[in-house]
Structure 1
Amino acid sequence: MHVTASLPRITIVGGGAGGLELAVRLGKRLGKSGKADITLVDASRTHVWKPLLHQVAAGTLDSHADEREYFALARSNHFTFRLGRMEGLSRRSKEIFLAPVQDENGEELLPRQAIPYDTLVLALGSQTNDFGTPGVREHCIMLDSLPAAQRFHEKLINSCLRAQATSRSAGEGRFTVTIIGGGATGVELAAELHMTTSILSSYGLRNFHPEKEIKIAIVDAAPRLLQMLPERLSDAVARELRGMAIEIHSNEQVQQVSKTGVHMVSGKVLPSSIVVWAAGIKAPEFLKDLDGLETNRLNQLVVNPQLQSSRDPAIFAIGDCCACPQGEGLPNVPPRAQSAHQQASLLARSLERQLQGKSLLNFQYKDHGSLVSLGNYSTVGSLMGAIASGSVFIEGTLAKWMYWSLHKHHQVAVNGLFHTWLSTWAETIDRVRNPRIKLH
């Protein structure tokens, strides 16, 4: 499609759950009919749904099976994709600046770029917050990106191969995977790891006995796991994890992480071979001083109920990188995939209305509940709102199906119903054809 310079320019930065869904919706609503020039910017060439990263880390999901090429998505959904990492903004000239892109050899692939906009949407997601804890950056893996998840998986497989090559008695020389953070990411990763290591012994690692070689531990400063979710759900998850012999260290604040282990304020030390930090999130650092835009202590952009930044009506923010109010006396909208999905859906309609000279819509978050997957063992959750007054606790097959459907809902929003149907059949065939876990 030929784009004329006179078209309104809507630039979206960040191709995560919210940003990509918004680009697809606007491409179909405005790009296809030539009503606006839609551009999506991301530092990666492919999209993977972030809630699946713990499965990539454990090896229970091959990331290539779920990756979507931004260039291909742009072509089929009537928007333009630009590769690059945003590093600056000029509100006066209405431009964003992308850092130079280098190839795997460190040579410049793309120069520094300036991309103009009339409307800018920041959907930059979040990154791990280490709270300034000594040793975290040097000795922990942060599961906030696909490369990090793949790096963890490689370390895990290597550790298992090392254990296979050495004969040990029970408890002697065990290697420990310590997960710092008892939220959904930490809990789901622990369960997936237990499943992975149990399966590994059936792939020729005859001397590898998970119960002897590996210890999995979760450390959290809160008095219970999944502190933000209902206590009944938290208790059910804790029971399942303890049944897998996963250690839970609650009420333990991490003082520092060293090369040999995790040190607590209480004096307790957990010797650890692999440490994952999943204890909190914040928006990217560069947002803190982005041409005068207002941010909070987590670097999130402060927005009004219409999702506009508080200091510039031409700039919007959605997803984890925005601090969106829910109402007087209520906390901000929680940083969840369902929040980003709802904001993308509303903003697509809002920006179309704005081009028609109509008023923007107010965002109202609807909490549909929380689901936590424990691999093949169980899924538990609470459903909110329309299901009943208050919340309904669910587990087992129904919860598993609903957790699976969340991902499919995202795929439908991005790929359409037919392509999602085809990819689901392909996934089913791959599960029969390929090993149950990724072994490389």
Structure 2
Amino acid sequence: MPEATRHHRVVIVGGGAGGLELATRLGDTLGRKGLADITLVDAARTHLWKPLLYEVAAGTLDSYADQLEYLAQARWHHFRFRVGRMYGLDRASKEVLVAATLDEAGAEITPNRRIPYDTLVIAVGSLAHDFGIPGVKDHCVMLDTPEQARAFHDQLINACLRAHNQPGPIEPGLLTVAIVGGGATGVELAAELHGTARQLPAYGLERIDPDKDVRIVVIEAADRMVPGLPPRLSQAVEERMRELGIELHTGERVTGVDADGLSTGSGLRIPARMMVWAAGIKAPDFLAGIDGLETNRVNQLVVRPTLQTTLDDDIFAFGDCAACPMPGTEANVPPRAQAAHQQANTLAKSIRRRLRGEALPEYVYRDYGSLVVLGRYSTVGSLMGALTGGSVMVEGIVARLVYWSLYKLHQVTLNGYFKTVLSTLANLINSPNKPTIKLH
């Protein structure tokens, strides 16, 4: 299309929480009015809020019921969706390189493509970082995608069925889950699995004694669980996990993993048939030095406070795949869902200003606190850290309601208040017809 007649092309790569929120906002403001062409690119066809993946893995959330289809969202909110995985970038011609997609038989669905842009936003998130430790890739499950979470859940249910149907005593270690990483994902998964185990006898697997046969172990390299939280909150988390009978090992660095368990640098050996890796993150490998852009040692694109990459004003990055400085410190914005949500809000304004030729605002991270959900048993966290100059510790039902509201805020951004209220009521009405855990 001739340069004078086409619209400004905004391409967003990555349909995670931040990327999909940004595409929805820009579609509603720019796409609907014909002021710009908005395109979202993602390798998956559906979206699920990543903080919920531990519930999918434990079987307490049906990922198929809670997922959102990108094509439908694009139709409702005036942007385009293109399926495919970004693998490269041509800055000279301003094109994103997208790989072909294949079906289960290996037949091509969509070919290799080059998607042109005027403004590019990269929001491809992060992946678990195995730090090159032998055996991790072969024997541990990561929780980066719904597919991986469902794969672990299948492994868990198969192990429970196998244990229930063994003719003699249940094989030692068969129902041991070792979770490497004591951050929010690791401890939330451990607590959720504890709750799942206690539901098994009610669904016919009465041979399994949750207290005797199920062993849940969390290994953390730091000296305390959830080291990103203030020490008093870490202590509260640890106390509640020990009350649940979850085995904790801090100050232990995993050095090797095999099919029968894992080993640490201190000589500790933990036999386990099911292992989850939740220790550290990195941006996808294809970003490392992509077409000359500045990246750090974990492949994150280095950005300025405007969220523009340091070497290209036409390319923005945000969320877990971006290294965004926090003013007055040497640290970067932490990889949290609240940061991605804030950055998406900033970029929605920035791109509208960019089209008008106005100066771009600088993003300033606001820490509204952290929450950790320990299944149905407890929720602990800190709130309003940026407003109080410190942190206010919250626990119990108040903290759980705040955590629940974060997901609802995400849904409101994508669907509006009316649809979110209706879907929430529908889930509440239908909940008596659903098992408390997913058994297939």
Question: Is the 2:163–2:171 contact (alpha carbons within 8 Å) kept by the matching residues of 1?
Answer: no
Q: What secondary structure is seen at the aligned counterpart in 2 of 1:418? A: helix
Distance 1:117 1:93 in 2: 9
- 1:302-323 CA-to-partner distances (Å, cap 9, x unmatched) read 0000000000000000100000
1:214 aligns with 2:227: no
**Structure 2 counterpart of 1:264, one-letter code:** T
Q: What secondary structure is seen at the aligned counterpart in 1 of 2:259? A: coil
Structure 1 match to 2:431: 431
Give aligned-pair identity as a percent: 57
Structure 1 match to 2:113: 113
Structure 1 match to 2:340: 340
Distance 1:378 1:385 in 2: 21
Q: What secondary structure is seen at the aligned counterpart in 1 of 2:202? A: coil
- 1:128-152 CA-to-partner distances (Å, cap 9, x unmatched) read 1000000000000001111000000
Structure 1 match to 2:141: 141
- 1:214-260 CA-to-partner distances (Å, cap 9, x unmatched) read 10000011010011111111111111111111100111111100111
Task: Kindly state the Cα deviation for residue 64 of structure 1 after the two structures are TM-superposed.
Answer: 1.3
TM alignment of 1:161-172, pairs within 5 A: 161-166=161-166, 172=172
- Provide the aligned length of Structure 1 versus Structure 2: 437
**Structure 1 counterpart of 2:149, one-letter code:** A
TM alignment of 1:15-54, pairs within 5 A: 15-54=15-54
Task: Kindly state the Cα deviation for residue 327 of structure 1 after the two structures are TM-superposed.
Answer: 1.4
TM alignment of 1:8-407, pairs within 5 A: 8-166=8-166, 172=172, 175-385=175-385, 388-407=388-407
State the TM-score, normalized to the length of structure 1.
0.97
Distance 1:384 1:425 in 2: 29
Question: Is the 1:18–1:340 contact (alpha carbons within 8 Å) kept by the matching residues of 2?
Answer: yes
Task: Kindly state the Cα deviation for residue 175 of structure 1 after the two structures are TM-superposed.
Answer: 2.6
Greater Cα offset, 92-101 or 158-167 = 158-167
Structure 1 match to 2:411: 411
- 1:299-354 CA-to-partner distances (Å, cap 9, x unmatched) read 00000000000000000001000000111333100000000000000000011011
State the TM-score, normalized to the length of structure 2.
0.97
Task: Kindly state the Cα deviation for residue 5 of structure 1 after the two structures are TM-superposed.
Answer: 5.8
**Structure 1 counterpart of 2:45, one-letter code:** R
Task: Kindly state the Cα deviation for residue 172 of structure 1 after the two structures are TM-superposed.
Answer: 4.7
Question: Is the 1:53–1:143 contact (alpha carbons within 8 Å) kept by the matching residues of 2?
Answer: yes
**Aligned CA distance change for structure 1 residues 95 and 235 (closer, same or farther; 3 Å):** same
Question: Is the 2:367–2:386 contact (alpha carbons within 8 Å) kept by the matching residues of 1?
Answer: no
- 1:54-73 CA-to-partner distances (Å, cap 9, x unmatched) read 00000000001210000000
- 1:358-383 CA-to-partner distances (Å, cap 9, x unmatched) read 10010000000000001100000001
Question: Is the 1:169–1:212 contact (alpha carbons within 8 Å) kept by the matching residues of 2?
Answer: no
**Aligned CA distance change for structure 1 residues 171 and 155 (closer, same or farther; 3 Å):** closer
Q: What secondary structure is seen at the aligned counterpart in 1 of 2:176? A: strand
Distance 1:173 1:279 in 2: 22
Task: Kindly state the Cα deviation for residue 90 of structure 1 after the two structures are TM-superposed.
Answer: 0.3
Distance 2:352 2:288 in 1: 29
Q: What secondary structure is seen at the aligned counterpart in 1 of 2:198? A: helix
5+ residue gaps in structure 1?
none
Distance 1:279 1:238 in 2: 17
**Aligned CA distance change for structure 1 residues 385 and 245 (closer, same or farther; 3 Å):** closer
Greater Cα offset, 14-23 or 423-432 = 423-432
Runs (4+) of structure 1 exceeding 4 A deviation are: 167-174
Task: Kindly state the Cα deviation for residue 429 of structure 1 after the two structures are TM-superposed.
Answer: 2.2
Question: Is the 1:171–1:212 contact (alpha carbons within 8 Å) kept by the matching residues of 2?
Answer: no
Question: Is the 1:170–1:212 contact (alpha carbons within 8 Å) kept by the matching residues of 2?
Answer: no
